Structure formats: structure tokens, C-alpha cells
Amino acid sequence: MSRFAAPIAAQIWDMKYRLKEADGTPVDGTIEDTWRRIARALASVEKQPDVWEDRFYAALEDFRYLPAGRIVAGAGTGRAVTLFNCFVMGTIPDSMSGIFDMLKEAALTMQQGGGIGYDFSTIRPQGAEVKGVSADASGPLSFMDVWDAMCRTIMSAGSRRGAMMATMRCDHPDIEAFITAKQDSARLRMFNLSVLVTDEFMAAVKADGPWDLRFGGKVYKTVPALDLWNRIMRATYDYAEPGVIFIDRINQANNLNYVETISATNPCGEQPLPPYGACLLGSVNLARLVTDPFGPQAELDPAALDDLVRVAVRMMDNVVDASRFPLPQQAAEAQAKRRIGLGVTGLADALLMLGLRYGSDAAAEQTACWMKAIARAAYLASVDLAKEKGPFPLFDAEGYLASGNMVRMDEDVRQAIRAHGIRNSHLTSVAPTGTISLFAGNVSSGIEPVFAYAYTRKVLQPDGSRTEEDVADYAVTLWRQMHGDAPLPEYFVNAQTLPPMDHVRMQAAAQTWVDSSISKTINCPEDISFEEFKDVYLAAWDMGCKGCTTYRPNDVTGSVLTVSERSDTVPADAPPSGAEVVYLSEPLDRPAALEGATYKLKWPDSEHALYITINDIVIAGHRRPFEVFINSKNMEHFAWTVALTRMISAVFRRGGDISFVVEELKAVFDPRGGAWMEGRYIPSILAAIGGVIERHLISIGFIGGEGMGLKSDPKAEVLRVGDRPRGPACPSCGSYAMKMVEGCMTCADCGHSKCA
């Protein structure tokens, strides 16, 4: 196969990873230049950089070792971006000033391209007393809404909006609201949610016992544990969230349980991390290491695997020293523990090349064997690094070797660690590797099964247009090259037809030798019963997994990819699925002159009008918005209008479909009430600005008409003349249901009352 096995792989490299000048001129002429750039940057911290540059280049060549996307895009560029994918942020204090200090840290981290994870269990529940201000607490979910709004306005460095993970303990008094929070389609869209499930809770579930919801030593409520578990299960059955994290198991196995406690993970869940912990990822491409694929002597070359893992560990350890960090606390945490997460991709393809059916006992056994070989090579490589460069600063032999993970490690590895220390506190993790796997020729991602033998992806181009690309699985393509149109063997299975318990079996087999965790989605058929669905989670618990995430397609969740109907690569019984994957481009450059329009917006009861100017750029004959300015004589609005215009303009300059900006603005409601404008009830001045932008997008042909392409939002409903006006908006839940009850304004939906 060529360097790029498919056109889409070359497009991904060009749009996401290829180094270019500010004007778009390529610096990396070829993929070999990209590999050389990465190798040189990571070898620069070595005493013999020339020697290690060549070793690192050989590991990268032909996509054998795949650093995470942040490293591929950022290493050796001189740009002020982090090479770490994600972070768990500091513990949120239970105070207003502390909460907003954490929000600032989150914004700074996301600005440099890092995803973030937070545990919101530390914030007092809704209704709890706030001493000194004669008020009740609004609860952690209200502050999650603030984080969500922040994330929607900040674009991560590189090409994507930031991702966030929110966790909450199963004994927090607001856990029931947390479980159902995302069932409102307009809420918390930038978050993944996971419940921190304890051993004590699982015991109570199995015993059908009572469960206390408590905070700060006070029991707020007692519920049947099984009822709470069923609520979690029902939410993820219907809405695919929240996930489940077995937090006690994570802390018991943690190599550093003698110096840290974990209560959150990165957004995809493969890295449970302490406060300010950083997620550094890379993957060994198992599909490239199989000799005699589909032949009688097919095997994964053990010597090549051992050598590749050892070089990859050294490369990743060097990233700790070569990377920038958004916050000094993150740099200190990374230096103190030198945590890395080396994983795999192409596992399912490698199994196919050996004639093994994914999910079978033989495949699970082979997976465990490979993962143990990787763990041994990684730990021994880290011991060698400790001999050369010293162990990580917080290393303590007795504490380290007493962890649940290290107790089962081979004795020769334990003795080596005891004698020489170890350079990295953690070494293994399995990331989702979605884009990176496609970049490497569409090998199966992470430890997932082949999703589909062929499917169509829609790729967003720099000019805003979309192209459709047919993509075939790497192993299937190789089979076709060797066997032509011969039927695929029976052991070729995919995620569409695989029983859920086969997924669990594979996750558990891999987890045994992974010291962090695994990003794995267990695909469930739409018609799986609720009881069978719950059994999946109990099986994950019983088989030793550290967490469980499922996906069941339905009318709410939709499906994942568009499966091609080409008969030469897709079995007749492969079911289709829908939706698309979109890649954003680099920021658009500003020409010296732009065309635009200025709109006057007069908000009732405001002395001065707002003047909104939207300038457009012309690409391939099509106009698209590029920047926005808001001006007014009213200086009261100066700060927020400047902030708003800068954020919106940053989104516009990223290219692609930016109509979501209209949706977000039109969804904003003012608790003090909106206003009637041109025969419509507009819920806030920000919603009015969203309406102006929407009209401009219609006028230039960017969207077809009002509301087209936007999701419905119950908080952005429009009243027209003749409709019965709604009551004022409730400051607690946002519904327009405030009415006078016994002399006090009270919300008919949630019961909020200022007199209460």
C-alpha cells in the first residue's frame, strides 16, 4: 500500500496535521516531512539528538507508531500549543470565587487546545444553605451550564471546539438531576457525563438495599440503590448518557494511590487523572506489525512489537519535556509523575489477519497476550529510562509496587522497578484514535471492532463545501487485494452485528494489562431489551472493567456513520446507519477588503441602538460570514459586545457550517423578560442579535431560510401577534411559567419563589 492508503487520509493530513505558513503555504511538503518534523522535535531533548531522531523517524514511518493528533499537529512547529490531548482540572472549591477561578483555568486550557475533565461532586447541592448571604445554593448543574456556555464560545487550537467530561458521585444529593440533565436537548451539549460508581453502591444495588445521598456529612435523602441504578440505566438506554465509571476500582488499581486520589477522567474516559493531571497519548498500529497476513504463518511480529513499544515510550517521555502547558500546575503535575498513555490501534484488523473473530474466546486470549507484551515492554523501557535519566520525582518503591495494578505484574518487572525505579508513573492507555486511525489508512480504531467494511464520510473543505469519500476498512482492502472478489470469511464481523457481551469480553481482556483505562463503546442493537441492556453493565463490573459506555441507536441518539451500499465490500446483511463526520479547516485568512452590511437594532427601553456590521469573505464564488462588529453609544454594553464579537468572529474564521451560532444566540433568554419586536416576542437582546445574524446568512445564501438547519429549542420559541403572552421567565429553570401565588411570584413548573 502507498503512504496514504486512501484519498481521505491525504486530506486529513493536509487539513489537520500538515504544517503550513500563516498564508496557507505548506511547510511540510510530504508526509515524510511531517514525520521528520516530529522526530526532530522529540529528539531535541536527548543528549544524542541525531541518533534518536533517526530511531524516532523509523518508528513513525509507514504509520507504525501513531502519536496523538496534538503531537502530530504541534510538535516542531514553534506554536504556543500544548502537545497533551486533555486535562483533568483542579478540584472545584465550594465557593463562588473558587468556582469562577476554576472556570478561568478551564478557558485558558481550552484556548490552547486541551479537552478538560471535572468532578462537580465538590459543589454543594441545590437548596443547600449558603451562609452569610441568606440564600440557597443553586447546585452543581447550574455551574455546569456556565462551563457549557464557555466551551461553546472557545475554539480549541488546531481545528475543533473543546470537549469536556463532567463526573458526579453516585451519593451526591443532585445525582438524580445529573443523570437526566442531557435529556434536555438544549442543555450541556459540550459535556460528556459519567457517574462515579463506588464499590459500596454496587454492593447495595446487588443487595437491593438503601442508599444515602449526602454532602458535607449531612444525609439529604435516602433512596433504594436499585432504583437509582435503574435510573442511570434507563437514561443511558434512551439517551446514551451518562456513562459509568467504577471509581473505587480505578483508585485501588492506581499505581500512585499512595500520593493521589482520582475523581475524574479526560473527555473520552481512557485517562483517569488527578487534579491538574495531563493526558499524553500515542498508539502502536498493530495492523502494520502482522507478517503473512491472512496466510498460514500469520502472526504479529513479537520482536518488532517489543522494539516499537520501547522507542514509543522514549518518544512519549520526551513529550513531557518538549510540550508547553496552559497552566503551571499542569506542568508541575506532568513533571512530578511523567504519566504517559501508550495504547494500540488496528487491533480488530490484526485479529482478522490472523483469522480470529473479534469477540471470540480465542480473540480475547490473543488480545490479552498482546496487551501483556506491550505492558512488559513499556515498563521495562521505562525502567531503562530511569537508569539513564532518573525515576519520576514522586516514585516510592514500596507504595508503587503495592498498588492493585502492580501486584499482578510479572516478578522480573517488579524486581527491576524495585532496584532501579521507573521513569513514568503510568504507561498504558487505549484511546479512541478515530481520526488518527483514518489518517493511517482506516485501520480499525483502538480496540474497537471494525465498524463497517465500507462507509461514506463527508469532509468539510476550506471553502465550506462538503465532499463525500468512500472509505474501506484496511484489513478488508488488503483481503481484496489478495483474494479479489472471493467472499469474506465468516470471521469477518463488525460492530453492527456483534453481540454486546463480545464487546465486554474484549474490553475486559485488554483492561487486565492497561494501567490507566480504555475508551471503548459497546454497541447495542436498537431492539435489545432493557433487562439485557442492564446485564451489559453488570457484566462489565463483574469482569473487572473500570467503566462502561454503551451506544444504542434510536430516534433520540441517531446512529454514527453512513454505511456504503457497494456490494463488493459490504455483506448483504450489514445494516446501514446514518450521520456524518466533519473535519474543520485551519482559520481563514482575512483579505485586505471585505464586503458586508450594517444592521440597526433598537431594543425596547434602551436609549441607544446597536449597530451590527457583518463582513463576508468570498470563497469559490460563495459568500460566507467572516467577522462581526457591534457598536453603540451606550457604554454599558461595551465589554460584553466586544467579547461577543471577538468570539463570534473567531468561529466565523474557522470556516465550515457556523449556523449553530444563530441557534445558540436565539436560545438565550433573559430572566427579566424579553420584548416584542416586529410582531414577535424575542426572549433577550442576544436572541435579537442572533436573529440579525440569521437574516444576514439568509440574504447571502448561506442558509436557506429562517430556522433552516437549526435544532428546535424550547427556550427560543417565538410568539407572534395574537398569541397569548407567556409569564416572565423563571430565574431557576427558565420556563415562562411565573405567576402570582399568594402575593408572591412563583414558578408553576419548578416551584421557585423569591418568598420561599
Please check whether residue 194 is in contact with residue 242, taking contact to mean a CB–CB distance below 8 angstroms. yes
- For 517, residues 6+ apart whose C-beta sits below 8 A from its C-beta are 250, 265, 269, 270, 271, 272, 429, 430, 511, 546, 547
Q: Give strand pairing partners of 326.
A: none
Please check whether residue 240 is in contact with residue 521, taking contact to mean a CB–CB distance below 8 angstroms. no
Q: DSSP per residue over 465-498, as a string? A: -EEEEEEE-HHHHHHHHHHTTPPPPTT---TTT-
361-389 and 411-420 helices, crossing angle to 10°: 20
**Exactly one of 270, 333, 627, 664 is catalytic; which is it?**
270
Q: How many residues does the chain have?
A: 756
Q: DSSP per residue over 660-672, as a string? A: HHHHHHHT---TT
Q: Give strand pairing partners of 551.
A: 523
| Euclidean distance between CA atoms 421 and 408, whole angstroms | 18
Please check whether residue 16 is in contact with residue 73, taking contact to mean a CB–CB distance below 8 angstroms. yes
Give the CA distances from residue 218 to residues 140, 147, 177, 185, 221, in Å, rounded to whole numbers and listed in that order. Answer: 17, 27, 19, 33, 9
| Euclidean distance between CA atoms 668 and 729, whole angstroms | 11
Catalytic-residue membership of 285: no
**Exactly one of 251, 257, 266, 523 is catalytic; which is it?**
266
| Euclidean distance between CA atoms 70 and 158, whole angstroms | 8
Please check whether residue 612 is in contact with residue 488, taking contact to mean a CB–CB distance below 8 angstroms. no
CA-nearest of 231, 257, 233 to 243 is: 233
Catalytic-residue membership of 86: no
Strands 547-548 and 155-156: unpaired
The beta-strand segments (E) located in 205-318 are 210-215, 218-224, 243-246, 264-265, 272-273, 278-279, 281-285, 290-291, 299-300
**Exactly one of 268, 279, 545, 548 is catalytic; which is it?**
268
| Euclidean distance between CA atoms 745 and 638, whole angstroms | 32
| Euclidean distance between CA atoms 581 and 230, whole angstroms | 32
Residue with cell 482540572: 89
Catalytic-residue membership of 85: no
Which residues are known to be catalytic?
266, 268, 270
